[in-house]
Structure 1
Amino acid sequence: MSGWIAVDWGTTTLRATRMDGARAGETRESGDGMNGLSPEAFEPRLLDLAGDWIDGPTEIVVCGMAGARQGWAEAPYRAVPCPPVAAPLTVARSADPRLSVRIVPGLSQRAPHPDVMRGEETQIAGILREVPEFDGVACLPGTHAKWAHVSAGEVVSFRTAMTGEIFGLLSRSSVLRHSLGGNDWQEAAFLEAVSDALARPEALSARLFEIRAADLLEEQDPAIGRSRLSGLLIGAELAATKPWWLGRDVIVTGAPALSQAYAAALRSVGLAPRILSAAEMTLAGLKTAKDLP
């Protein structure tokens, strides 16, 4: 049968797409992410979301946190350098005999520093499906942003930055929450903050408090405060990942607004990044995974 189901199972979200060979059909999404599930709950939650698509033996290919230690079935990390997706995938047991479930393993790195990724390797496989000869860096912004050096079809090394999680914590739980607001984007303020953080990343914590002080003393527009917070954190991330992106071609793959912010920051340091859709690259990577023996 050509019909199968592509599943991206994140920490907070489950997303399933009905596939007919390489052609994508309907996509459905729920809040049944890995964080809220016990291992035995994965199969029922998937059937709740997409059970009406299953009318016979059905192959299901999964990436993301379903392969974590606390997930449906642990898919052990593969050590870089290696292709982003390769056989064998991890088989997950299912009570429903119609289901054939395989999970894409994540990637790991021990040197030059310990690091792991789970889910992003599938996006990188999608990038290579879209741009087969790509040699450069895949920038995958998100809660935990990844910078992966890709060459000759392999992930050579990568670096993770907790920028998205730090932004969330500071904007929701710190004193800065009183000085941020709205979703308006002030690119000039953002790029100035990127430049500040790149020039002096060691001053980050002091620069962060300036956002609060500018609000109290100058009634700074909350949108400027939010844009500066984003710029300072992304600028510090660029400083930390400079060995990955300096002088290389960069493809940015993430949520649309976040990808645009990272691309603007990279353009400010002289690069010409290309943006590819994260959802499309995930599906492309899952197609690559499905074709594996």
Structure 2
Amino acid sequence: MQQVPNPIPKALIRRTGGANSLELEKENFERGQVKHLFTALVRVCVLAVISLVFLLDWSVSPCILGTHHEKGAHTFWAAVNRLPLSSNAVLCWKFCHVFHKLLRDGHPNVIKDSMRNKADLSDMSRMWGHLSEGYGKLCSIYLKLLITKMEFHVKNPRFPGNLQMSNRQLDEAGENDVNNFFQLTVEMFDYLECELNLFLGVFSSLDMSRSVSVTAAGQCRLAPLIQVILDSSHLYDYTVKLLFKLHSCLPADTLQGHRDRFQEQFKK
């Protein structure tokens, strides 16, 4: 005769379910605490980094890693929105430097998340543009560059923030269409123009009769140019390659404007 297994008592079922529920609640609580601690850490890092006399690569790393952890820049902007960027030009300059590094090395969603603040950045750029010298003028130029950088990458999502691409990826970005390559070259010229404007703006603001590069104030102004050089080197390389592609497909007269603009930027 086959034995029927005894059913599990309902009391034990309730206890087991209760235990699982408690463990799940505990796990959710711990996750929430980790998230809150992480958010607080990133905010502290943002504030601490921007308060430095000049930025070091290792000091920005927590902010960059934070964007990869949360797959975006919500925490970064939550911290930045508390800063008096519209009333402190030096603070705004350091913010631009940090933001530039995040656009280059942060999670790809940083660009998309930051586009929500494009209008505020544009207003801030116009506001600082009323100043004719000092950090105010530089902030205006830098903010225009960052806005241009975001717009370029939103319009051309195949390009990563650090602009590192292979020749094959560059061809894919233009979809092997001469019209796309033509327009892409124009956009790269605009992008590179903003990079060069910041480069020239920084050097024109320095007293070249002294060794300003060894002073804290000089290093504060010069430090962002590392990002500018990294961006510009790729943009220059890509424009040269695209111009060769275009000249192999289009008449020389059609590309006269491209050549003139390339030579103008090359002289800078």
Q: Which structure has more strand as a fraction of its residues? A: 1
TM-score normalised per structure 1 = 0.28
TM-score normalised per structure 2 = 0.29
